[in-house]
Structure 1
Amino acid sequence: MGAARVEHARPELFADPAHGFAWIRMIGALVVIYGHSSPLSGHGDLFPAWWPVQPDEGVLMGFFAMSGFQITESWMRDPHLGRFGVKRVLRLWPPMLTASVGMALIVGPLISELPAGEYFSAHGTWGYVVNNAGLLGLQHELPGVFTDNPWPDAVNGSLWTLPMELLAYAGLFVLLGVGAAKENRRWLAVLALAGLVVWDRYLEQAPGAESAGSLLSVPIESLVAFLVAFALGVVLNLYRIPLSPLAAIAGIAVLVAMPNSIAASFLMAFAVGYAVVVAGHFWPDRLTVPGVWVNGSYGVYVWGFPTQQLLALGGIRNEWLLLACAAPIAYVLGTLSWKYVEDPTMRLRHLLTPAPVAPAEPAAPAAPPEAEQDADPEPAARTGRHHVEPPPAPGGPARAEPPPRPERPSRAEPPRPVGPPRPAEPQATPGSAWRPPPRQVPAPPPGRRPSAPRRPAPREESPLTRRLSGEAGGPQRPVRPPRPDLEETRPFRPRGVDPNRDDPR
C-alpha cells in the first residue's frame, strides 16, 4: 500500500505499510475495548473529561484517516467505479452482518428474559437483523436482552460508526466519479476537505452536543468530524504529501500540551490522521508477524462490545477485570472472523479484477539462409580452420567490412556415444595448410588377427594423359612437375571469394 511513498535510508528496518496499518488498526480496536470497559461496568468514563485527547475518539479519527488513505490507494491501482463499489461492500458488510445475525438468532434467545417462542415472534428480533443490514437505520436493542446491565439494552454500540464509514465511501465514490483522482482535478478533494472543515467548525461552536440532529441513526456532528479525518487521508494520498516521523511526533506533542478546547478538537483530526499514516509507513520490520494475527481488527471492533456486555451480564463490575477478560475473547473472535468470514469474502474481489496482461516479448529477427549455414559458435575449436581474408586488389577500393551478424543461440548437439576418448585433433597454426585428421581404424574383434592395409591398385593412364605428359606423339611440351595433392596445398577460401581472382590469366 503505497510502499514507494517513502524512500527509507535502511528499508530492511521497516515493514510493508499494509502490515503497519494492520498493526495500528488492531491496537486501536483494543484501545476501544479499553475505553468501553469503564462505562459498561458502571463506573462512568474511563478518561478524565479535561484530557485534550480522548484515546477512544482519537482512535476513531485514526481509523477514518487510514481508511481514506488506503481506499484511495485501492482506487489508484484499479480505477473502476463498479469494482470499487463491490470491494467496499465486500469489506464492510460481511463482518457486521455476521455479528448482527449471531447476536439476534444465536446469543439473543439464550440470554433473553422472554421465552424462545415470544422472542422469535417479536418484531424487534427481526427488525434488529433487517435494520442493521441496511446499515443506515441501526437498531441497538433486542427484546429482553441486557435489560439489567449497567449500560442497559445496548447490544452492540460499536456499530454506530459504520454508517459514517458507508457515507464516507459514498462521498469518495462521487469525488472519484467526477475525476478527483486525476492530476488536473485533485483540487476537488482539497475543496471537499476545506468545506468539511468549515462545516465542522460551525457545528463545534453550536451550543449543545449533537445539536445538528441526526441523519436516520447517524449523528451529524460526529459524522462531519470523522469525515474531516477521512478527507485528510484522501488528500495525503492524492498529493503524495511527504511523511515525516519528526513532524508527526511534533503534532502529537502540541496536541497533548494544549488544553481541552475547540482549537484542540480542530487540531486532533489533522495531528492524529497524519500520525497514523506516518506510523504505517515507518512500522518496524522486527514486529512483522503472519497476517492472520493482526488482520482481524474489524472483527475485534464489532465483537468487543457484545463480549463486554455478556461479561457484565455475568456479574463483572470492575473495569480492569472486564478489560482483562474481554480483550482476549474479542481478539479470538476477531481472528476467527478474519479467517472464516472476511478473508474468504475479500478473496471474491479478485474474481472481478482483470488479470494483468504481460507485455509481449519482441521476437528475435530471423537469420538469412547464409547466416543459418555459416553461423557456427566455435568454428576454429571444432574444425581447426582459420578464416583467411584475401588481400585487396592493388589500386582498388578498400573492401567494406561486413555488418556484424546477430548472435544466435548455439544449436543443441545430439549426445555422442560413450566410447574410448578420441585423440586430440592437431591445431593448425596461422599460415599453414589444413590437413584432415587421421582416420581411425576400428579395432579387430577379439581372437582375430588384424588384416594388412590394402594398397590402392595402380591407376591406368589414358592415352590423353600420356599425350599430355609427353609420352605419346605430338609436340613435346616441357614436363611439369607432378602437382601435389590439392587437399594438401590449396588454401582454404571463404565462401563468396572468386577462385580465379589471383589467376594471372
Structure 2
Amino acid sequence: MRIPVPRTLASAIDSHDNGFNAVRLVCALMVVAYHAWQMNPVFSRTDPLTRLMAPAMDTGTLAVGVFFIISGLFVTQSWMRDPQPLRFAARRIARIVPGLFVCLLVTTVLAVVFFSDTGAAGLASGAPWRYIFGSSVLHLLQYNIPPEELRIAGVLGGIDLNGPLWTLYWEGRMYVMVALIGLAAVLPMRVWMRNAAIFLLLAAHLFPSVLSGYVWEVRMWSLFLFGMLLQTVAAHARIGPVHVLCALALLLLNWTRNASLTDSPLTFFGVMLVAGAAALWIGSARTRALQHFRTHDYSFGIYIWHWPVLLMLRAVLPPLDALPLFAVSLAVIVPVAMLSWHFVEAPAIRTVRRLMRERANDRAAAPSN
C-alpha cells in the first residue's frame, strides 16, 4: 500500500484546514495535568508521563516545548506576511493581552475576596491592581521580575497567583526578536530569516554567554528558532508519519548509549524531536474530527486560567488525588476558556483585523499628491 504524500507545511499553515489548534489544545491539557499532579496533596506529585521521561523531561516542559515550535512557525509567518512593526505588535497584543487581562482581573478579585486574610477590603490596597496591570503587560518583558510582583501577601498562602505566565514573558521577548531581525533584513526576507535562525541557533549553543541576557533558556529559545526556521522552508517541507518514525528510530538508536552514560536513555532533544515531528504531522493533517478547532483556539484560555483555578479548588475541596483534581478542574477550566475565546479573545482579534483593513482601505482611497 502506498503511503499518501503529506501536503507541505505552507499549504497547511496558509489555510484554516489544519490541526494546529488541536495540537495546542492537547498541549494545554497536558500542562493542566502536570500541575494537577504537582498540586495534589494526597499521593505522588509526579505524573506518569513525567516518571517515564525523567530526568530528561517532564510533561509540562514537553507541552511548552511544542507550543514554542508552533509559535515560532506562526509568529514568523505573521511577520513575513506583513513586515510592519506596529501592525505586528497590534496582532500580538490582541492575541494575548485582552484574554490575559480578563483572566487576571477575575481570578485576582476572587482570590483576594475569598482566599485572603483581608477579604474584600484587600481590594482597596494597591497590591492586587499592581499585580493585575503588571502581569497584563508582561512586566514590560523585564529580565528579573521582583517576587512581590508575582504574588500578593496573604492571598492563597502567598504563592505565585499564576505561575505558568513565565512562558508568556519569554514568548514576548521572542516576538521582539522576530521583529528586530525582520527590521534589520538586508536580504530577501525568507532568506534573511532563515539565515538569522541558523546563526542564532548556533550562537545559542556554541557561545551561550553572548546572548545569555536575552536567551535565558537555550532549550526553549532553540525550539522557537526551529519553528522560525521551519517557516522559511515551509513551502517545501512535508511532515508525515514516515518522518515521525524516523525521529523515533533516531531516539531508539541512542537508547542504550544514553542509558549507559546518564540516568535515562532519553534526552531532551531526542524527546522533542519525536514530539515535534508528531505535532507537525497532526497539525498539517486534514481531518473532520478536528473541524471545530480549525477556527476556535481554546488553548490559550486553558493555559492562563488553569493555575489559579487549581489553587482555588485545592483550597475549597477536601484533599483530592491528582486524577480527581484534574477532572474537577477541567469541569471549570474548559467552559471558562471557551467563554474567554468566544467573548474576549476572538472579538479582540477580529476588531484589530477590522481596524487594520479599514486603515488600509482609507490609505488606498486617499488621493495621491
Q: TM-score range, shorter-chain basis?
A: 0.7 to 0.9
How far apart are the structure 2 equivalents of 1:177 and 1:262? 43
Matched, 1:146 2:156: yes
Higher relative CO (CA 8 A, sep ≥ 6), structure 1 or 2? 2
Q: Does 1:244 align with 2:239?
A: yes
Deviation at 1:289, TM superposition (A): 2.1
In the alignment, what sits opposite 2:309? 307
1:287 aligned to which of 285, 290, 298? 290
Q: 1:116, 1:157 → 2: CA distance?
A: 23
**Which residue of 2 is the match for residue 29 of structure 1?**
28
Asked if the contact 2:9/2:284 (under 8 Å) is kept, the reply is yes
Distance 1:199 1:100, change over 3 A: farther
Taking a change above 3 Å as real, the CA distance of residues 340 and 199 of structure 1, as seen in their structure-2 partners, is farther
TM-score with structure 2 length normalisation? 0.78
1:133/1:6 Cα in 2 relative to 1: closer, same or farther (>3 Å)? closer
Q: Trace 1:86-485 onto structure 2 (pairs within 5 A).
A: 86-117=90-121, 119-135=122-138, 136=141, 137=145, 139-147=149-157, 153-179=159-185, 182-185=189-192, 186-199=194-207, 221=216, 223-240=217-234, 241-245=236-240, 246-252=242-248, 254-255=250-251, 257=255, 259=259, 264-289=267-292, 291=294, 294-314=296-316, 315-350=318-353, 351-353=355-357, 354=360
2:228 partner letter: V
Distance (Å, rounded) in 2 between the aligned partners of 1:78 and 1:128: 33
**1:366-418 CA distances to partner (integer Å, 9 max, x unpaired)?**
xxxxxxxxxxxxxxxxxxxxxxxxxxxxxxxxxxxxxxxxxxxxxxxxxxxxx
> Structure 2: where are the runs of 5+ without partners?
1-5, 365-369
The structural deviation recorded for 1:287 is 3.1
SS of match in other structure, 1:79: coil
For 1:146, the aligned partner's letter is L
Change (3 A) 1:338 1:319: same
Deviation at residue 291 of structure 1 after TM alignment: 5.0
Residue type at the aligned position of 1:21: F
Secondary structure of 1:289's counterpart equals: helix
Looking at structure 2, the residues matched to 191 and 311 of structure 1 have their Cα atoms a distance apart, in angstroms, of 46
CA contact (8 A) 1:16 1:281 kept: no
Quickly say closer, same or farther: Cα 1:277–1:190, change in 2 above 3 A: same
Deviation per residue, 1:102-135 (Å, 9 max, x gap): 1223442122121432x12444323312321331
Cα separation, partners in 2 of 1:229 and 1:283, compared to 1, 3 Å: farther
Cα RMSD over matched residues? 3.3
**Aligned partner of 2:153: which letter?**
P
DSSP 3-state at the match of 2:46: coil
Q: Which amino acid aligns with 2:219?
A: A
Assess if the C-alpha contact under 8 Å between 1:125 and 1:142 holds in 2. yes
Per-residue deviation, residues 182-233 of structure 1 (Å, max 9, x unmatched): 2442312221222223356x89xxxxxxxx8x88xxxx64x33211100000
Assess if the C-alpha contact under 8 Å between 1:104 and 1:142 holds in 2.
Answer: no
Q: Does 1:80 align with 2:80?
A: no
Report the alpha carbon displacement of residue 41 of structure 1 after superposing the two structures with TM. Answer: 1.1
Cα separation, 2, equivalents of 1:133 and 1:110: 22
> Between the two proteins, what is the percent identity of the paired residues?
22
Q: Does the 8 A contact of 1:232 with 1:270 survive in 2? A: no
Higher Cα Rg: structure 1 or 2? 1
Q: Distance in 2 between matches of 1:325 and 1:71?
A: 34
Q: Give the length in aligned residue pairs.
A: 331
Q: Is the 8 A contact 1:65 1:230 kept in 2?
A: yes
Structure 2 residue identity aligned to 1:142: I
Contact 2:19–2:285 (8 Å) recurs in 1:
yes
* Secondary structure of the corresponding residue to residue 288 of structure 1: helix
Gaps of 5+ in 1: 204-211, 359-505
Secondary structure of the residue aligned to 1:242 is: coil
Structure 1 distance, partners of 2:228, 2:220, is: 13
Pair 326,344 (structure 1): closer, same or farther in 2 beyond 3 Å:
same
Shift of 1:156: 1.3
Aligned equivalent of 1:38: 37
Change (3 A) 1:102 1:262: farther
Note the C-alpha offset of 1:340: 0.9
